[in-house]
Structure 1
Amino acid sequence: MKPKDHKPCILALSDGTIAHGTAIGKIGTTGGELCFNTSMAGYQEIFTDPSYYGQMMMMTYPHIGNYGTMSRDDEARSVMISGLIVRSFSEEFSNPMADGSLQEYLERNNVIGISGVDTRKLVHHIRDEGVMNAVISSETLDEEMLIRKAKEWPSMVGLELATKVTRKEAQTISSDGPYKLAVFDYGVKKSILDNFVKRGCTLRVFPAEADLDDVKDWDADGYFFSNGPGDPNASADYGLPIIEHAKSTKKPIFGICLGHQLMAMSEGIAVKKMFVGHRGANQPVKNNETGLVEITTQNHGFAVDEEKLDDSKVEVTHINLNDQTIEGLKFKNFPGMSVQYHPEASPGPHDSQYLFDQFMEMVKQGAGSKVQGAGSKAQEAGSKAHGAGHKSQDAPYKPEP
């Protein structure tokens, strides 16, 4: 079934809101938490970001599919979103480098979607009412049944999803560089791994429920905790023990997104569900140490609770300029840094890639130094790098005072 056949389709929200449109992708019924992404391009990278696992993706940019799809743009081996909502779906594409159309891509990955929806109106509705579950169906037009199904769909609160997207066993990704990095895959994006490899790291990528003895045997020079889907509180049982081990080594630690949340939780700082999450490639973030503003890529529905901070344990390094939520932390009791947003982008601007360089400076300072006190030396290096992060690239825009 092709979208040109214009098979009718319904989007039903758990609060009773109904939107009618036409089917795209696979014919069927699907559901999940309805979220929206404000990126103008990069839809394929968004659809394959494991942090979106189980979520219904509504794109705010009206034209989706016009440049087709390319296999090199995938961030994971399969599409992660549970459904797709767009304003105007492009059945044809104009990109000579594309492997095929978005319709073919969605069908191949069993993704159910709807086109012809007033996404602007729905985004305003979600911003006013808060995030909620929804169902798409091109199989039935029974509105009451679909609303009921949306109400019964499992809430994201308390939902453990990282083990659904992680790898089954540990994998080594080699480089020509001298540094060994332990990566914990809660849904890690390909572009994150690429950023470490090109900076001279040989990676040992562990599954979410990693065996602690295997981690110890790797004897890493640094530890990285990745992005991933679901409620971070539901990942604590397997995430926090590994973080505690990493902290005990006094080696540098870096966390992104879910990894950032778990690192905060390891210091007793709570994480909360957001009224409306941040998802897009145009989120302004201020670096508190430099005063510079970065335009960032974000994808999260949970955040570190600013009311539960402990100044003796963390320093807030980055803040979201739209709603003042916490976007970055530096840890005082171990050599660690973390950010809520995505410095690897994919899609999005590269303003924040200096964070990988900062972490690597910490790793380089600590690597090879086995004597007591190596951890404090790495922490000092990380603190210095945190304040000088933009020296190796063009600085992001700094607003006039």
Structure 2
Amino acid sequence: MLKDRKIVLGITGGIAAYKAAELTRQLVKEGAKVKVIMTRHAAEFITPLTMQTLSGSPVFLDMFATIKDFEIAHIALADYADLLVIVPATANVIGKIASGIADDLLTTTVMATRAPILICPAMNVKMFENAIAQENIQKLAEHGFHVLEPAAGELACGTSGKGRLPEVPEIQEEIETLLTEKDLAEEHLLVTAGPTREPFDPVRFITNYSSGKMGYAIATMARRRGATVTLISGPTQLPVPSGVRFLSVSSAREMRDAVMTTLPEATVVIKAAAVADYRPAVRQEQKMKKKDEDLTLKLERNPDIIQEIGKQKENRILVGFAMESEHLVEHAIGKMVAKNMDFIVANDVTKQGAGFQGDTNIITILDREGEMEELPLMDKMAAAGIILDKVREIRDTRRNHPGQEQDPFSSAWKTVGEKNKLQ
């Protein structure tokens, strides 16, 4: 994602400067090339040696320094950057940039660069709420700067309120988003994720091992690529991806209702949730007590959400998942054909590195035209990117052939599908 991307990181004189060290470490870990500019006051909070060690590159402090062959530092750094990010951005530096003042290496580099600029404010809540500070932030936004909203919470000065520097993962995600091509900018993706819970008394339920990681990865990657994203999720322990519309549900019927309500505005539907096929026929109002004899639960079918979508798909792109323990391809084709999907993502739960809970997956993509792509073990973010590439490919094909009816399933797939119509 960030491999070989060139990032100029500006650090100013605020207590949150220490977080710039961890951000640099994470960016370098992801393969980014980071060059650090520190203001004179920033060096009071964190040493240039620390940042040089973490970035693997000299730290720049002197406005009149040359880099090599008599290159002027602020021009060379401005031309070098794919992105310039200021972490933390104090009220002072925000005010200077908003006023066009360029009196040190960082502000002159800001003035000279044509790269996107991300401002991450961090200051005392009273300073942040000051009318002049707010005007300056608004002015930067109006001039095309990207301003990350500060977090609320306990501040270094002992007070609480809005003004905390966002956590490093949130800043890193914003950097990833700004550096990602917006090839899905016109799409509205509806993504489902996680398990469902089907209660049979107030304290017990039927569920599965789904962590939601695959669906959350798809939602995150789609947002990076410019899509409007609605994520409908069953219960998970995952943080909500930045910038998505999030709807929390519990049972299969709740998920069905949320999906069908949102469906009219979606152009792409990706059903990555592990929805329970059955629910207890009767939910006891009181906790069921243990008895000497065995307990029998009667189960009834839950709604088949993706099949319902398939019947009213219209021109939407519909993507499903098939997690199988045997006959992976045959069962996946059966589901794709029966439920009118554009393509299906299949994985074998018995393979090491695939399936629930983990950060990796091994997927096979099958489409309605008879093409099958078997992919090696990879992390779920990478797999999400490939799935979205397939969405874009189908979208572009339809745009290039407007008015053409949707391709029928290939004859080979249809034959296999008729024999393996699994619900």
- TM-score, normalization: structure 1? 0.30
Structure number with higher relative contact order (C-alpha < 8 Å, ≥ 6 residues apart): 1
**Structure ranking higher in strand proportion:** 1
Give the number of the structure whose alpha-carbon radius of gyration is greater: 2
More helix by share: 2
